[in-house]
Amino acid sequence: MEPLHQPTSCKTEDHHHHYLQNPSSSGSPRTTTLPTPTCCKCGAPTPMAAPPPSFSDISPPPNYRPIRAPAINLPPNPNSQQAIILAPVPQPLSVPQISPPYHFQAPSKIIQAPDDLRRFHDSFSGKHFLGFVAALSDSIRAKKISDPCHESTTIATIVSILQTLIQWVDEIPPTKQAARYGNVSFRSWHERLSQTSDSLMLQFLPEHLHASTIEIVPYFTDSFGNPSRIDYGTGHETNFAAWLYCLARMGVIKEEDYPAVVARVFVKYLDLMRKLQLVYCLEPAGSHGVWGLDDYHFLPFIFGSSQLIGHKYMKPKSIHNDDIVENFSKEYLYISGIEFIKKVKKGPFSEHSPLLDDISGVPNWNKVNSGLLKMYKAEVLEKVPIMQHFLFGWLIKWE
């Protein structure tokens, strides 16, 4: 078969090699009929084979795909690392309670620029939300998941709700499709969640707080991933923490519930999220590649490192002992996170998880915990691509 005719004005052997211009870049990604490939330098036809369609018709792409290329495989910025080291450790704060009259409202997205982030972190809401995360971490210090703790009927109901969401995954099996990431059945699961969220909230809300569903449901439904992009990341995890913070603001969750919030509610939430990630192949949202702490989660490592503070035998370097990881993953969130990573990622741990590998060299869990709290503020709560999706209403006010 003869190659395509090359115009005389373009002699590839004289001055340049032909680089394939992707003809689909200017059209719809759903188009399967591609025009003749052309050289991206001179525009001439090229004998190179046309690339396959970017996405199959079985699983058409969402309108927006997260652009993560600049972050992938780039080592952390030394300046930002130094800023994290010098930053103060976030301290636990009591959650301020609301009182009547209530002005619940549908929350909305507000953060668009770094200046908005600074305003949020200097605000009452920003300080107390971070203080709530630090308080949850402090509440589980030196405690195992199986340790007895105060479990209110509210906590038991929330755990039951999360168990129901886990059962839905079994009822909505993944669709057979060619795409590696983003099984479209996740949209069916999420649609059922959206349709029933109000009634799920009413299972544990006292009657005088029923009107709060207009405000707390959006946080809840956005805690399990995005149905359009079929992805999940630390922003969704932060929404779950914000939903819990809203419940604490209303007094539905009290300080004596905090150990159970971590050891019962958050553990069940993690069970659900890992099942969703594996069954529906959720794409990591805004992942930093190997230079991120984890593709999907951050909070389990904060809470888990707090659990291990003062442990007689387990040190940060113990994550490299497979027997320890296997035997203690059910009791410690940090070890559970390591086990899950080792299960889903192949190759040397130091290559696919260099940040966690570096942390394993820290001498004690207290330093790991304080460092992760500072890192959570800097790498999650101070990042516009994540926090632009954060919601503000009456319970978490924009000030």
Q: What percent of the chain has pLDDT over 90?
A: 72
Strand residues in the chain grouped as ranges (E)? 20-21, 38-39, 108-109, 231-232, 283-284, 391-392
Select from 210, 247, 214, 236 the least CA-distant residue to 136: 247
Q: How far apart are CA 46 and CA 214, in angstroms?
A: 57
Match 């009452």 to its residue by tokens: 124
Domains plus CATH for the chain?
112-392 (1.20.120.1150)
DSSP string, 183-209: -THHHHHHHHHHHHHHHHHTTTS-GGG
Q: What is the pLDDT of residue 27?
A: 43
Class of residue 90 by CB neighbours under 10 A (exposed 0-12, middle 13-18, buried 19+): buried
Cis preceding linkage at 348, omega within 30: no
**Radius of gyration of the chain, Cα coordinates, nearest whole angstrom:** 24
Q: How far is CA 379 from CA 25, 160, 387, in A?
A: 32, 32, 10
Select from 163, 147, 168 the least CA-distant residue to 279: 168
**Three-state secondary structure call for residue 20:** strand
**Residue pLDDT, tens place only, 207-266:** 999 999 999 999 999 999 999 999 999 999 999 999 999 999 999 999 999 999 999 999
Q: Which residues of the chain have pLDDT under 70?
A: 1-80, 287-291
Q: What is the pLDDT of residue 43?
A: 61
Put simply, whether the predicted model's pTM sits higher than 0.85 gets the answer: no
Q: What is the pLDDT of residue 78?
A: 67
Match 């886990």 to its residue by tokens: 166
**Residue pLDDT, tens place only, 277-303:** 999 999 998 765 555 788 899 999 999
All residues at 6 or more sequence positions from 195 whose CB lies less than 8 Å from its CB, including other chains: none
